[in-house]
Copies of this chain bind each other. A is one copy, B any other.
Amino acid sequence: MSNGLRVSILGGGSAYTPGLIEGFIRLKDTVPLERLVLMDIDSRKLSIVGAMVKAMLEAEMPGTRVDLTQDRMEAIQDIDFILCQIRVGGLAARHLDESIATELGLVGQETTGPGGFSMALRTIPVMVEIARDIETHNPGAWLINYTNPTGLVAEAIHKACPVKVISICDEPMILQEALAGFVGVDPGSLFMDYFGLNHLGWARRVLLRGNDILPVLRQTMQESSDIDLDKVFGSTVMSDPKNQLELQNTLRIFLETGLLPSPYLQYYYFSDEMIRYRVSTGKTRAQEVIELEKAILADFEKVTAGRKKLEIKRGGKWHADMMIGMLSAIAQDSRSIYIVNVPNRGSMPELPYDKIVEVPAVVDASGAHPLAVGNMPASVRGLVQAVAAYEELTVKAALEGSQADALDALTCHPLVPSREVAKRLLDSYLRTHAEYLPQFAGRH
């Protein structure tokens, strides 16, 4: 590895990129950046975000070389860390994923439920192609995968190719940072006894100096109604105005079960309410994000033109800190603990040995070593096992282009009420996204 890190970002035209760059700037003394390559197939976004990023780095880390490219190979060769946050089909495809589900009366969400299924079918072939390119052309490089749906993408990559990869999601980190802030300690001083699958996980205990803080937190939240939930649970990137519904739902699950859930659990515990809420907004979440993104990009243009000062949303900070912390753990072999998506190997004995699970792991220069988190409470075991089976079938369908497996996958998803509905969903997704689903072309 060179003196400073050589980092590329596939999907670098994302509105999240400047937040990530802020992180590199914040941590420039411990994790110096030698070269940054932003790659995106959307030339307009690449140009806006690229200009912004160049300005930021020139101001704060003047020696860093920045390249913008639409050529994937340029972002793979001579790079130490390839960050990947692509969105196959863009937000337009996400809108279709979500609206098709919503129209059938189901949860219409990017990663959880039918939307995530559709996204996986589109995304997995591209991600496997990228992984194979890295394996072939730069096998020493690390692929840092946070492309959604992260768990499914991770499982597909591990099945298809022996590339060096770590798959991460910032959700558990957001929770950890928020909790730490609420309690008034450094995030690193908390240990999250966390288990599950991506977007389907729980903290069973949160240890501070050896003691579980969850019982006291639960007691406190039961008694006080004026706590700013955002300060306890955090909130996801670009959630402005804050998603009070999500926070309330997370609170309800915590108070009732004593387990601190991923915010995505609301789609399982309160699916009926989430469907009603989405219908009430009259638009998909994708449409909201499209507007948000438009505004952010416009802001970026103003900032670059010197007409505004950059201000990154909180979620961005957490996201960046986790990402850069992880890079640093690998680059400096520091054996830090992160909650990541890794092959199971017994960490969760009630799931298959090769399943990708989301658990705390020791991260060092060789990758992620999962902790043995043990058996699950019966109250969540069945749900996790059901989604695990759904994921196994979805990955198989996405890799092999089998409609039968795809239908079985949707049928067994807990949020799909019947095989009839699964069929309508599948037909609709395959027809609508045909251009992104070459693996299904001419197959049944």
State the A residues within 8 Å of B (CB): 189, 191, 193, 207, 209-212, 252-253, 256-257, 269-273, 330, 333, 335, 337, 344-349, 353, 360, 362, 364-367, 369-375, 378-383, 385-390, 392-393, 396, 405, 407-408, 411-412, 414, 417-421
Question: Could you jot down 6 A-B contacts, CB within 8 Å?
Answer: A207-B364, A270-B418, A273-B420, A346-B347, A370-B372, A383-B412
CB distance from A411 to the nearest CB of B (A): 7
**Contact partner, A408, options B257, B344, B365, B411, Cβ 8 Å:** B257
State whether B385 touches A390 (Cβ < 8 A). no
State whether B389 touches A378 (Cβ < 8 A). yes
Question: Cβ of A365: which chain B residues have Cβ within 8 Å of it?
Answer: 207, 209-211
**Contact partner, A390, options B347, B366, B382, B388, Cβ 8 Å:** B382
Question: Cβ of A420: which chain B residues have Cβ within 8 Å of it?
Answer: 270, 272-273
Bound form: Cα–Cα A191–B361 in Å: 14
State whether A353 touches B346 (Cβ < 8 A). no
**Contact partner, A270, options B273, B366, B380, B419, Cβ 8 Å:** B419
Q: Copy number in this complex?
A: 4
Question: Cβ of A396: which chain B residues have Cβ within 8 Å of it?
Answer: 378
Question: Cβ of A273: which chain B residues have Cβ within 8 Å of it?
Answer: 418, 420
State whether A378 touches B393 (Cβ < 8 A). yes
State whether A378 touches B335 (Cβ < 8 A). no
State whether A345 touches B366 (Cβ < 8 A). no
Question: Cβ of A414: which chain B residues have Cβ within 8 Å of it?
Answer: 386, 414
Question: Cβ of A271: which chain B residues have Cβ within 8 Å of it?
Answer: 417-418
State whether A421 touches B345 (Cβ < 8 A). no
Bound form: Cα–Cα A419–B274 in Å: 12
Whose C-beta in chain B lies nearest to the C-beta of A392?
Answer: B378
Bound form: Cα–Cα A348–B257 in Å: 29
State whether B419 touches A364 (Cβ < 8 A). no
State whether A389 touches B393 (Cβ < 8 A). no
Question: Cβ of A378: which chain B residues have Cβ within 8 Å of it?
Answer: 389, 392-393, 396, 408
Given contacts A345-B372, A420-B270, contact A382 B385 (CB under 8 A): yes
State whether B379 touches A393 (Cβ < 8 A). yes
